[in-house]
Amino acid sequence: MAEAAKLLEKKKLDKEDLRILMGIEIGMKRSKYVTVNNIRFYSRHPIEETLYRLKKVHKLDLIVRDSSKNDVAYTLNSIGYDVLGLHTLVEREIISQLGPIIGKGKESDVYGCMDDNENIYALKIYRMGRTSFKNIKMLRSFLDNRKHLSWLYVNRLAAKKEFDALSKIYELKLDTPKPIGFNRHMIVMSYLRGKELAYYQNLKNPSKIFNKIIKQIKLIYQEANMIHGDLGEFNIVVDNKGNILIIDWLQWVPSDHPNARSILERDIKNVCNFFQKKYHIESNPVEIIQSF
C-alpha cells in the first residue's frame, strides 16, 4: 500500500499508464491473465503504446507477466490494484493523504488517512484471499456461480457489501463508522481514536460499555433488521471517553435469514462471555435475546 501511495505522490504514473492497469483490470473479469492484444483493446491504446506502457508498469512492479504460453499475458498484483483504488479516491477528493497502518487482519488492512480539510479517516483495504480463498465462503451467495473467481472481484464485492451495511446503519445515527466513500476494494470511514476491547487491560466503566453495546446491537436488529454475524471483542472499538464503534460488517445477515436466531445468539454470547470472564459482569444471554 505504501508503494502505491509513493508512486502516486511522486507522479511516476501517467494517465496512459493508469489506462493500461484498468485495461488489465477489465480483462481479469474473464481470466487471471490478460493477453497483450486484449489489453490493447480494453485500454484503447495503439499496440506500440500498449507495449511501451506495459514495460513501464511491469518495471514498477504493478503487474505480473506470464510468458509460459504462446501469447504473453499480464495480471495485476495487489500494488497495481491499490494504485487504481487510491488514484480514484484522490481524484474524487475523498482523501488526499495516506497515513500509517493502524490495523492488520486476515482479510483486510486499515490505514489512517486525511482529506483536504484535514479530517482524519480510516481507510480499510480488503485483502480477501491473502492467505486462502477458503475464507470467502460468506460471499458465495452473490458470486452467481462464476466459473472464474477473480480476487479483484471478491475484494470489490466485500468492500461494497460492508459499505452498503454501514450506509444503512448510519442513517439511524448509531455507533458504527460513518461511511465516507469507497472504490474497488477500499472503504473510507470515520475514525475513532481508541482500540479494540480485546486490547484493554482495564475499562473505566465496563458495565456501562457492556450495556451500550447490547443496546446498539438491539437497535440495529430492530431498526435496520441486521445482525452483525461476527461480533466479539476484536470488532468493538472503545475510546478513553467510553465511546464505542462496532466495526467489521462484512458478515452481516438480515433478521429474516434462515439462521438469524442462532447467529444473533452467537453474537450476544460472545459479548456476554467476554465481559463475564474479564470484568466479572454477570448477564443472561437468553434473557437479552428474548428482549429483542
In sequence order, what DSSP letters do the residues of 196-222 get, joined into one string? EGGG-S--S-HHHHHHHHHHHHHHHHH
- Percentage with pLDDT > 70 across the chain: 92
pLDDT of residue 68: 77
Per-residue buried b or exposed e for 212-240, using 16+ beta carbons within 10 Å of the residue's own CB: bbbebbeebbeebebbbbbbbbbbbbbee
pLDDT of residue 292: 86
- Percentage with pLDDT > 90 across the chain: 73
Grid coordinates representing 207 are: 458495565
Check whether 137 has a pLDDT greater than 60.
Answer: no
Grid coordinates representing 143 are: 458470486
By three-state DSSP, how is residue 286 classified? helix
By three-state DSSP, how is residue 289 classified? helix
Check whether 216 has a pLDDT greater than 90.
Answer: yes
Whole-number Å distance between alpha carbons of 40 and 19 = 10
Grid coordinates representing 237 are: 472499538
Query: With 0-12 CB in 10 A as exposed, 13-18 as middle and 19+ as buried, what is 185?
Result: buried
pLDDT of residue 1: 74
Whole-number Å distance between alpha carbons of 24 and 39 = 6
Q: What are phi and psi of 68, to 5 degrees?
A: -75, -20
pLDDT of residue 138: 52
Check whether 135 has a pLDDT greater than 80.
Answer: no
Find the distance separating the first CA and the last CA of the chain, reported in whole Å: 42
**pLDDT band for position 103 (cuts 50, 70, 90):** confident
**pLDDT band for position 47 (cuts 50, 70, 90):** very high
Check whether 146 has a pLDDT greater than 80.
Answer: no
pLDDT digits (tens, 9 = 90+) for 253-263: 999 999 999 99
Give pTM, 2 decimals: 0.88
Grid coordinates representing 37 are: 492484444
pLDDT of residue 148: 59
Whole-number Å distance between alpha carbons of 50 and 17 = 9
Grid coordinates representing 202 are: 482495564
pLDDT of residue 83: 95
| Residues forming the active site | 230
Mean pLDDT estimate for the chain: 90
**pLDDT band for position 174 (cuts 50, 70, 90):** confident
For 124-151, what is the mean pLDDT?
Answer: 63
Check whether 11 has a pLDDT greater than 80.
Answer: no
pLDDT of residue 90: 95
**pLDDT band for position 70 (cuts 50, 70, 90):** confident
Check whether 249 has a pLDDT greater than 80.
Answer: yes
pLDDT of residue 136: 52
Query: In terms of Cα–Cα distance, which of 120, 139, 126, 264 is closest to 178?
Result: 120
